[in-house]
């Protein structure tokens, strides 16, 4: 899937081709070959934005605000319709923001870590008070496994880490862990359609399937920071070439 909101603003057509048409292609293959179960991995962003309180539940109205989230909402609806119309055995998961090893450096946490390690400015959209619910990648994988094998066909399951952190606070935490000054923080022009807050109610998957996140945020963020510290050769290869052009367009020319 195409999964980065910023890139969907720069080039939405790739997200429609991959996330919508790509999902339809997979659903058609599943129908043709009688696949036992089709799991559609989606995102909390299909629900839109929350105010200062409350959480998304599986019954929250879908209200996407970016080309990325709209493409994922469309894919979710295709999965549901292939179940209802063609009896393809679909189930949908919607997860909050992931973090952990091997995450592409355009994503928020690895971007903050990589820039800090290079003593580059850490770009923060708007006032930095955009809140995300963070989940360690291993916990997300275990949730997917639980839904794949135990989830009820046709159902949606929310997956969240229960760790709400504002972007500016996350950036400051990373700087602190790396021993870098907060003077590296740089507020940049906000992106359009920026959702203010996400928070997931994961009680359904916890009660029905017995899943809960195992990794505390304190442990997960330490593991993540240390991984990027110890694997500079991996992410430095990625941030060369095309990524530099994207970065300049996305942050330096705002």
- The candidate with the shortest Cα–Cα distance to 227, out of 96, 134, 124, 136, is 136
From 45, 106, 139, 195, active-site residue:
45
Chain position carrying tokens 């991984």: 227
Nearest residue to 19 (alpha-carbon basis) of 64, 86, 55: 64
What are the phi and psi torsion angles at 121 (to 5°)? -60, 145
Distances (CA, A) of 203 to 139, 162, 191, 200: 15, 11, 32, 9
Of 6, 28, 47, 68, catalytic: 68
Is 130 one of the catalytic residues?
no
Active site (annotated) includes residue 119: no
Task: Tell me the sheet residues that pair with 62.
Answer: none
Q: Is 44 annotated in the active site?
A: yes
Cβ distance 136 to 100 under 8 Å?
yes
Catalytic residue among 44, 76, 133, 164: 44
Strand pairing category for 90-95 and 156-159: parallel
Catalytic residue annotation: 44-45, 68
């Amino acid at each position: 899937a195409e999964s980065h909101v910023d890139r969907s603003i720069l080039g939405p057509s790739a997200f429609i081709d991959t996330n919508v048409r790509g999902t339809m292609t997979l659903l058609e293959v599943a129908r043709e070959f009688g696949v036992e179960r089709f799991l559609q991995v989606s995102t909390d962003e299909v629900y839109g934005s929350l105010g200062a309180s409350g959480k998304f539940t599986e019954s929250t109205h879908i209200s996407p605000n970016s080309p990325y989230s709209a493409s994922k909402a469309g894919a979710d609806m295709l999965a549901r319709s292939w179940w209802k119309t063609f009896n393809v055995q679909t189930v949908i998961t919607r997860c909050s923001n992931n973090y952990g090893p091997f995450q592409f450096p355009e994503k928020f946490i690895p971007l903050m870590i990589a820039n800090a390690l290079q003593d580059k400015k850490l770009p923060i959209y708007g006032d930095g008070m955009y809140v995300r619910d963070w989940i360690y990648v291993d916990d997300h994988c275990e949730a997917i496994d639980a839904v794949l094998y135990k989830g009820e066909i046709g159902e949606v399951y929310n997956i969240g880490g229960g760790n709400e952190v504002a972007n500016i606070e996350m950036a400051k935490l990373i700087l602190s862990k790396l021993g870098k000054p907060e003077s590296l923080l740089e507020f940049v022009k906000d992106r359009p359609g920026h959702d203010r807050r996400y928070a997931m109610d994961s009680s359904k998957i916890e009660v029905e399937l017995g899943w809960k996140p195992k990794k505390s945020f304190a442990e997960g963020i330490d593991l993540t920071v240390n991984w990027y510290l110890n694997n500079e050769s991996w992410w430095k290869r990625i941030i060369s070439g095309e990524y530099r052009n994207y970065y300049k367009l996305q942050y330096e020319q705002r």
